[in-house]
Structure 1
């Protein structure tokens, strides 16, 4: 049997990524909802539909600084206005003069009424006088105090915001599953909402395992590898919106690992480990967490998935509370790809967010690339919009394992299990990464 045939046979024994993700995500449930004060709700996902209890605007109000008037007075249809010669260069050759009978600010609350030939000086946000149906901007006038001359006539309704014209009472403001953004907080507050029911942000604990690991602040050397994974995965979990806690490094000690995971179940909704998922002599995580005891299977099942890089992934629960645990490979590039395809969707599901996966686009491939057969490859790439619509994608040098490529990438080029070569000019799938720059 040739080397190619051996590779294809091995790939056929792997679990398809889609099947694996489906089996994992079906075991997870969104966290129980919480009733939170509006000031604490930002960044969470709504657990219930939200309906406006009050209208917005709550009352008729001025939208601009100016003079609230009756349109029939300033249009010439009423009996009240006085016409005077217009300043040089004014269109129409005449202005309209109205008596200013008072001032209204945003804090004014007494109801007032306009009489023919009169107006009120108003600030933006001030309640409108009864019978007012237009606000003349202050720059269209001589800004008079006792009487005002109007040089331009706006259309009826200009500068006016009617009660409920934007959001009537009873309007559905947001559905369950909606992310609470700053603008949505403003909408809730403006319509009289002080509390909302949301899914809490998942508490995610990250643990790096391996006797070889040392903390940051030094360089790697033979027998010692700087722990990049726990720092990177903590940042990745925080980017999704989780409350991320980096525990740090755990040696390959069976009792130490079990005790650490048991302790972390008290403060975690999800635990992520990195390292030790393979079958080599030093891969203790797989050996410890999948060990059968008392005739029962271990708490975590490790699966060889048709994924490149990082085929070996683990998922299960630990502790009496059965806290979900995701086990990712130890290679930093494979760990970050594993986070994207498995841990990130799990966090989104726990948070009640929809959709759980990154958005994707179809893009024009700029360079021919090869891919291992039988594996779904995720390769760092740069995505750009084309003039006239559509996208192009440029694979980054070094392939999927390179940290520098992942740091530069704004997308992940996805090559399916049956793809061994993707030619330049072909159309491929690309996951869009959220990079805040």
Structure 2
């Protein structure tokens, strides 16, 4: 193994151990459903694991909020990618739901908490014919475990990418620890929202694209699968995936990416056809509560400056400046190489025009979690900078202060709205 001053593409047991420790640290936050958002993903994953697209009784898991209704039938309004990835975990979880419920009924003690207090109270108030939460304990555990697994994969990919970019062991590990503890990556990795899954898939697409000129064709096909799954998890990320592939891959090799993407695209189109009667229709087209979400024109109707200030400034106390300024430092660390950020530009512009860039009820910048790996690269370069003496001390002090502040804000925000 080379000394720390000589970075290598290869990760070692210390890197793997770091990720295991970071994920293990999140176990203290427990498990369970937290909102209509992850409830909708879980409901769809349970449906897919049973070979259907209708939510049926599980529609109550959406709290009757994040739900699409077509011809009187309830469906998830979420893109299907997150639920599809979680389907194996939910299939396993459902095998234990009944026995765990019986154990709870006999002992009067929950095996695991199936939901947070705020969610459980709202669920009970709105329950019509859905399952009792004690019958979903294993499903809730499976959903949270899958979310943590996706986070772990993303953190490992981040370590590899930083090594690929020539970042030495210490700064890359510090950066990944900061990503897990000092950004919204951490809070959203303990529940089944789509943001960390989408960020992980986009990061995987980036990693494959970087080596697309030397990779075997099978890797390019795999990149197409991963990129398409990223879009299936968050439709808007097509505006980042396509430029990313186009920027890093020769046109003569695009066909292999398309070959990998085609089966996923067809599967998503078939899901849309089954659920919404048209391969181009999505759950948002039939959203039962938010009229603005039913068309692109009303969903992306804000001034981009308005959205930029909310996502990156302190508007509504939701942006990076307000909640996680450490990652603004990371973005500034890329100022000498702005070209590296080009694949994210069109996507960011669209996000800034979103009708609710503050994330609706969460009041944060969760929509730009897929940008965090780019900011992490910038932060790693800041930590690797060659300044010496007092400047080095000052840089370390500023970075540490921003990290502490960011960590306290993102986690306290989670505790507040999740009811921990």
Same fold (TM over 0.5): no
Task: Give the TM-score normalised by structure 1.
Answer: 0.25
Greater helix percent: which structure? 2
Bigger Cα Rg: 1
Task: Give the TM-score normalised by structure 2.
Answer: 0.26
Greater strand percent: which structure? 1
Answer 1 or 2: higher relative contact order, Cα 8 Å, separation at least 6: 2
